[in-house]
Amino acid sequence: MPLLQGRVLLHENALNVPRPRHALANDLSGVVMTGANADARAFQLRTDTGYKGTLLIDSAPYASYTATADEPFMAPPDELFAAVDDSLTFQKARGASAALTPTGYIPPANSKALKAVMREANQIERADTLVSLPIDVTWLNRENIGQLIAVCAKIRHPKAVILFRQFDPLEQAKDVPANLRRLFTEVEHMSLLRTDLAALDVMAHGALCAGIGVQSSLRHAIPPDEKPQTGKRGGGPTYPHVLMPQLMCFKGAESLSNLYANADPATCDCEECDGRGLNRFFLPDGETRREADNHTVFTWSTWVSELASYRAGTERKTWWRNKCAAAVDRYALENQRIGLGASPKSGFQVPPPLKAWATLPANP
């Protein structure tokens, strides 16, 4: 899989007309076209914009289909008798660099469904296949991680894990960040798609590749029978979640506008921001959203380049750990600077996964 090795891909929403992203023009990146219609959008990206980089097509069958012991892969509804092989060939014909298996969502502790994915995947006689593993995040709990590792090790193709959970999957239980890292350390040729900064954690620890969503709904997935919860009552416009360069967390544009209401906002030196404040994204128009997304992609792209400049192994892991630890230390300073130091509930809060990455041993 040389086309994927060492890359952090960007999940683009297939609802939108594809356009080339300036921040992604290097050998460490690529695109995952994600959602219904991903194949048509991917083809459009190749033909209309002339995109030549690494490309995956994730039509997200796991959003509507649950894997069973008999049928772990979803057959496309309009091709009732199509084999999995046809789905893989179709993705390649639409421009994909490698093909993702149409695996259904694998529910908590459903060993039969997980083993069926392994069995069916090992029947595939192709060298261009990534076995998609859309797992409930409880597979990373203490009781299940052993079996997950054992099954993944027996799948003879590269694998792509997608984590399911409302809000941030890594906050589901305390040991999830450590166990996710263990999965990526103990099994070869693993990738983590549709995630957030966990992409950098697994890349530092030897992942094949990873994928970060351009918007928060593409940074995790939710089970087919659940509706997304946004933590926002009453509907209304949604605002982008912005990556904070110093604090290494995603923060909603509305809370940033509130937090910096009476203080100088944190600024950013990326190509999009050019020194401007990060409180400027609390507007519902498309141009503001594009600016916010570009800022976020520029910010983590820089980190990916930095990570790649360190030698794989201890050097890379240590750099990542130190970077996370430095970010954790900045929370108290930033809260103090904007006058929220005294009340721990009102300012910026360290996300538990970031704290874990900052404190887990670089070499266990």
CB of 271 to Zn ion, least distance (A): 8
Q: Is 266 in the site for Zn ion (CB under 5 A)?
A: no
Q: How far apart are the C-alpha atoms of 278 and 288, rounded to whole Å? A: 12
Identify residues 288-317 at the interface with Zn ion (CB under 5 A): 295
Greatest extent of the chain over all pairs of C-alpha atoms, in Å: 64
- Name the one range near Zn ion by CB under 5 A: 111-119, 134-142, 215-223, 263-271: 263-271
* Interface pick for Zn ion out of 273, 324, 338, 350 (rule CB under 5 A): 273
Antiparallel, parallel or unpaired: β 190-195 and 159-164:
parallel
Are 32 and 56 in contact by the 8 Å Cβ rule? The answer is: yes
The single-letter DSSP state of residue 277 is B
- Name the one range near Zn ion by CB under 5 A: 63-71, 273-281, 312-320, 333-341: 273-281
Residue 129 buriedness (CB in 10 A; 0-12 / 13-18 / 19+) = buried
Identify residues 171-200 at the interface with Zn ion (CB under 5 A): none
CB of 245 to Zn ion, least distance (A): 7
- Name the one range near Zn ion by CB under 5 A: 62-70, 77-85, 268-276, 355-363: 268-276
Per 3-state DSSP, what percentage of the chain is helix, strand, and coil (rounded to 5)? 40, 15, 45
Q: What is the dihedral of CA 56, 319, 291, 234, to 10 degrees?
A: 80
Beta pairing partners, 221? 164
Q: What angle do CA 59, 11, 101 make, to 5 degrees?
A: 35
CB of 290 to Zn ion, least distance (A): 13
Antiparallel, parallel or unpaired: β 249-252 and 241-244:
antiparallel
**Nearer residue to Zn ion within complex by CB, 139 or 281:** 281
**Nearer residue to Zn ion within complex by CB, 88 or 278:** 278
The footprint of Zn ion on this chain (CB under 5 A) covers a number of residues equal to 4
* Interface pick for Zn ion out of 197, 247, 270, 328 (rule CB under 5 A): 270
CB of 265 to Zn ion, least distance (A): 12
**b/e sequence 316-348, b meaning 16+ C-beta within 10 Å:** bbebbbebbeebbebbeebbeebebeeeeeebb
Q: At what angle do helices 286-309 and 314-337 cross, to 10 degrees?
A: 140
CB of 79 to Zn ion, least distance (A): 44
* Interface pick for Zn ion out of 268, 292, 327, 338 (rule CB under 5 A): 268
- Name the one range near Zn ion by CB under 5 A: 16-24, 72-80, 262-270, 337-345: 262-270
CB of 352 to Zn ion, least distance (A): 25
Q: What does each C-alpha distance from 133 to 63, 190, 200, 237, 272 come to in angstroms?
A: 13, 10, 19, 33, 35
CB of 299 to Zn ion, least distance (A): 6
**Nearer residue to Zn ion within complex by CB, 13 or 302:** 302
Q: Is 244 in the site for Zn ion (CB under 5 A)?
A: no
Residue 15 tokens, joined:
């609802």
Q: Binding marks (x or -) toward Zn ion, 24..53, rule CB under 5 A?
A: ------------------------------
**Nearer residue to Zn ion within complex by CB, 286 or 361:** 286
Report the interface residues with Zn ion, using CB under 5 A.
268, 270, 273, 295
